[in-house]
């Protein structure tokens, strides 16, 4: 939700925006990592099953790299 010059947001709207932004930032970081570090997320396969396999392998690779990063940096949360 957005406010205008003449009307600011209510407390409920601010809380809603905060919740949504926490979800959005985590998802956008994942897609950004896949795009930049793994050279994109484009699928060049024939057939739905191969496309699903390609996506699953990309997600598995991301999770393994993220797990390694969490362990290496001794981060306390794993989400």
> Has residue 79 got a pLDDT over 70?
no
Identify whether 39 is part of a domain: yes
- Kindly report, residue by residue over 17-31, the tens digit of the pLDDT: 999 999 999 899 999
Instruction: Kindly give, in sequence order, each residue whose CB lies less than 8 Å from that of residue 54, ignoring residues fewer than 6 positions away.
Output: 43, 45
What is the sign, positive or negative, of the torsion defined by CA atoms of 50, 55, 61, 64?
A: negative
Identify whether 20 is part of a domain: yes
> Has residue 73 got a pLDDT over 80?
yes
Identify whether 52 is part of a domain: yes
Domain count, the chain: 1
With 0.85 as the threshold, say if the pTM is over it: no
Mean pLDDT, residues 63-69 taken together = 92
Q: Which residue has the higher pLDDT, 43 or 7?
A: 7
Range of the domain at 36: 11-73
- Nearest CA to 66 among 55, 78, 56, 76? 78
Mean pLDDT, residues 57-66 taken together = 92
């Amino acid at each position: 939700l957005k406010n205008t010059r003449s009307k600011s947001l209510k407390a409920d709207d601010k809380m809603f925006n905060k919740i949504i932004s926490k979800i959005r930032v985590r998802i956008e970081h994942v897609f950004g990592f896949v795009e930049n570090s793994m050279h994109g997320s484009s699928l060049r396969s024939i057939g739905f099953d191969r496309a699903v396999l390609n996506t699953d392998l990309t997600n598995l690779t991301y999770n393994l790299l993220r797990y390694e990063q969490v362990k290496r940096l001794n981060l306390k949360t794993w989400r």
